[in-house]
Amino acid sequence: ITIEGRAAKRVFLAALCSVCQALQGGMLFPTESPSREVKDVSGLWSFRADLSPERSRGFEQQWYKSPLAETGPVIDMPVPSSFNDITQDAKIRDFIGWVWYEKDVWVPARWIQDQGTRIVLRVGSAHYYSVLWVNGVKVTEHVGGHLPFEADISGVLRQTSGSACRITIAVNNTLTLETLPPGTIQYMNDRSRYPAGYFVQNTNFDFFNYAGIHRSVLLYTTPKAHIDDITVETTFSDNIGLVSFNVSVLGSSKPAVKITLSAQDGRCVASADGSRGVLKVTDVNLWWPYLMHENPAYLYSMEVSVENTEDGQTDVYTLAVGIRTVKVTSTQFLINNKPFYFHGVNKHEDADIRGKGFDWPLVVKDFNLMKWMGVNSFRTSHYPYAEEILQMADRHGIVIIDECPGVGIKDIRSFGNVSLAHHLTVMEELVRRDKNHPSVVMWSVANEPASEMPPAGFYFKELVSHTKSLDSSRPVTYITASNYARDLGAPYVDVICVNSYLSWYHDPGHTELISLQLNTQFDDWYGKYQKPIIQSEYGADAVPGLHSDPPMMFTEEYQTTVLQNYHNVFDQKRKEFVIGELIWNFADFMTTQTITRVVGNKKGIFTRQRQPKAGAFLLRERYWRIANETGTGVELNEMLELALVISAN
């Protein structure tokens, strides 16, 4: 990582060494309760990119020790957002290296004065690796761009300047062969064409490498004796639901733990004492996916109360619980013992101006569009999405394939021990964060890796096995685009997920070949592995408003023709072993600049501004028809009315 300089490189290596220790704790989403407060410190931050040749001046001059504005020019930067599209400066849009954020916040005096209060600083995500200081004191560092990290800053605040809190975060978006996703830095040494020190970031994925603080920055409190983690697993038999729970408590040697499970009307339906146990729920309301049941997405409320018998302090945390089961057979995916067919989309966290920054209006709009279309599922391609999105999916009954950032693993050097160790750690962080979401029904450990390379067999055997050891209640997959006969990781997954772009990247323009080639694809994969198959990506670029008859590539007519030809085969094979179809993509999204991309990838069925193309209407008709065929007997018109009511509420 030569562009960062020696000081910055030491920071990165130290973070790699310390990340396993950080995983010892839990990562509960911050919520307010009688014992907890949350203060959102997002908003406008001061920002400065380190434009020095080595990108290391900030560390060498210790910018974290004084207000950032005293080190040089700063600009306003909104948090959460990517920094790339905020300014008019192309150097900022394409910047690779360290950027620095800073904000002064006031911490409530009672938080500081109460020695029994624990004060935590949490970053929802920052891409790619980060170092965090409070009042000039380093409090934590984190490797990885899509998952939260936090630090107990109680001691720092009480030892420095009290209520004044200067938060400094340095973020580096450099990708190497050992990061997820991986990349390489290429120096251009031809002095007749490039100036000295000129370099580019190379990647093997087709989306823009947005960077910055992408999710909220929060301060929150807990008592010193506090609930650190909660794990729930659910099942049912007849009308009895079972909720197994395991509560981790820190800061007390003799905690008194009480669990109360309440229905949506507030009635207590089960309770227990102790940190581990099983709750029994009579006449259980199961969590069902959207369009699979007349009462989808039923959530119970589990209140965990911990009293520290040493000082009488109590900590309270409430967790939404959906009771459901997931099973996989050789031909079916079962939710609550009923066959479930994925009719959904792939997405990106991507939008104009904000890049990958979390934005509530966009999230709500996307869920409304998905439900309008009859979407029952999506994949978090190609990285973990914000926790708030998973909470929305829990509440709306949208099923999720939860994917880690293992995209673009094409270089054999990215299958080494360092890469594998980091990949295992990322899966630990992902499972730790998302394990309690009923909407999450499957883990995806990678997208389109070079799984035919010799190291891939061992790599994915270890990766899948480790993920199952973290969570045995969900199946594990990865997304393949390899030849079925040479895929070395497929034997270890529970579901085969295949990406193919027939008549686009293969035989472009020849939609008449899709039926033959897609049937062959499915028969080959199933014949070899005898596992259910999801068509995890398919589609074609469509420039909105571009038309041609007969259809030609890049027109809306060509996109719909490709979709129709795929759908004809899906309708045959879903009677056998195909269990799902996920269109690529829900909406157009930004990519790096190349001669094959005209201001981004245009395979969306919606534009980047969420306006429908012809393909959106085609899929809407198809998905509602499938829902009517595979649902619980609720007629299509009733489902449409139900969708309108839910959207209105």
Whether residue 288 has pLDDT greater than 60:
yes
Tokens in use for 460? 């994915």
CB-side exposure of 203: number of CA atoms within 13 Å?
A: 23
Tokens in use for 356? 């990958």
Residues designated as active site: 448
Q: Render pLDDT for 555-580 as a digit per residue (tens, 0 to 9).
A: 999 999 999 999 999 999 999 999 99
- Sign, CA torsion 571/631/290/238: negative
Cα separation values, 533 from 490, 500, 623, Å:
11, 13, 18
Cα separation values, 305 from 108, 270, 319, 443, 593, Å:
24, 14, 11, 30, 52
| Other Cβ atoms within 10 Å of 72 Cβ, number | 14
Max Cα–Cα distance, the chain, nearest Å: 78
Q: Render pLDDT for 539-552 as a digit per residue (tens, 0 to 9).
A: 999 999 999 999 99
Average of per-residue pLDDT across 212-217: 98
Tell me if the pTM is above 0.85.
Answer: yes
Q: Render pLDDT for 424-437 as a digit per residue (tens, 0 to 9).
A: 999 999 999 999 99
Mean pLDDT of the chain: 93
Please check whether residue 551 is in contact with residue 511, taking contact to mean a CB–CB distance below 8 angstroms: yes
- Polymer length of the chain: 649
Question: Bridge-partner residues for 270, per DSSP?
Answer: 261
Full set of structural domains in the chain with CATH: 31-173+209-218 (2.60.120.260), 224-324 (2.60.40.10), 327-647 (3.20.20.80)
Q: Render pLDDT for 96-153 as a digit per residue (tens, 0 to 9).
A: 999 999 999 999 999 999 999 999 999 999 999 999 999 999 999 999 999 999 999 9
Average of per-residue pLDDT across 461-482: 96
pLDDT value for 12: 44
**Span between the terminal Cα atoms of the chain, in Å:** 50
Average of per-residue pLDDT across 507-513: 97
Average of per-residue pLDDT across 60-72: 97
CA distance 359 to 378: 18
pLDDT value for 18: 41
Whether residue 351 has pLDDT greater than 70:
yes
Residues 6+ apart with CB under 8 A from 543: 554, 555, 598, 602
Question: Bridge-partner residues for 363, per DSSP?
Answer: none
